[in-house]
Structure 1
Amino acid sequence: MTRGKLQCKQTGWVNGNNGICLRSRSRGVISDCDIFGNGWPNVAITSDVNAEIFRSRIHEGLMEGIKVAEGSRVKVVDSTIEQHNDKAVWVGQNCHVSLHQCRILDNTNAGMWIEPTGHGVLEQSCFEDNGYGGELAAIEIQGKAVIRRCRIRRNYMGIRSVGSVIVKLLNVSGNANGAFVLVHKGAVGAAERGFGESA
């Protein structure tokens, strides 16, 4: 969809390519949908799009679950993103993505990947069993992230940050290669409690 508005509600979406694609200053609301089995990202969002995703299941994609690029803003609430052969959520340059009460489960690569000028806000979300295929963390941060009250467990690695991250009240445990890794110029602030293994 280009320069329009999309509303999908209670829809099952299976396609050979993108499940849903929003482009070029579009706006969209996706709610109560089942989006799966697509060859490119299950949900592709590009070019200054504003989108919201509510109570949906995005799963079993050959690429990313949600790929956000080129200055877009996306809010995902109470949704499950699982079993992708690539990243669950990819946050591109100059994008802002927020996850609230989401479940990011069993993805081959990172649960969330944030590019150098990307921003992520993760609240009350669960990241489990991610990153084993690509030897990546549940949350890979090159840009900036705020992580509040999330559960991060049984991933290849918990959080790896090259960028800056603020964390608060995390439950991080059982990750194969550590809870928290800062790389090169990575910075962290306000880690309060709940690390179940050494960082």
Structure 2
Amino acid sequence: MTANTVTSDENSAFGGWLKSEMLKKGVTIGNLSEKTGITYTGIRNIVVGNTVSPRPETRKNLADALQETVPAAVEATIESEAASLPGMTWVDFTPSDLETVPQSGGVYVFYDITDRPVYVGKSNNNVRSRVKDHQTRFWFKEPLVVRGAFLAISDPDLCVKVETILIKFLGKHALLNVKGVTRDLED
């Protein structure tokens, strides 16, 4: 994809709206990146539908850069998807762009280029700090880590339980997890 090309998978109400506004105004992903401080990859993930529910701050930053207001129907779609778990908030993010990563406690999952979950983690206080730490790891790069999803969980005990359950469900397919994973080495 070049800086002047925008494609969309139309799976995201916000991504579809963003693509449409960019096309109307002749704005590229690169232009928006310069105006917002959000990385090219972070914006591209929204436009192509990898990031379906970006953080409210990210949505506002992009809308302000376009000098537009996100339509109420688009916001309502995002909020209804994020609020599907009462008392918890779900957002998507681009792991390589810390500006898109939430700053609260909860459980997160990294996905690869094929949209397979490759890592499950948790942070009781600030997931952005954990993701920043992951950025120093040799495995933290595309195509292995392309997008992330986050479920805000304020209860530290519940956070540990949800992380453990997800790792157990992934089993030997929890590619990058070591703790809590059972692998049959005699396959």
Flag whether TM exceeds 0.5 (same fold): no
Greater fraction of residues in strand: 1
Tell which has more relative contact order, 1 or 2 (C-alpha 8 A, sep 6+): 2
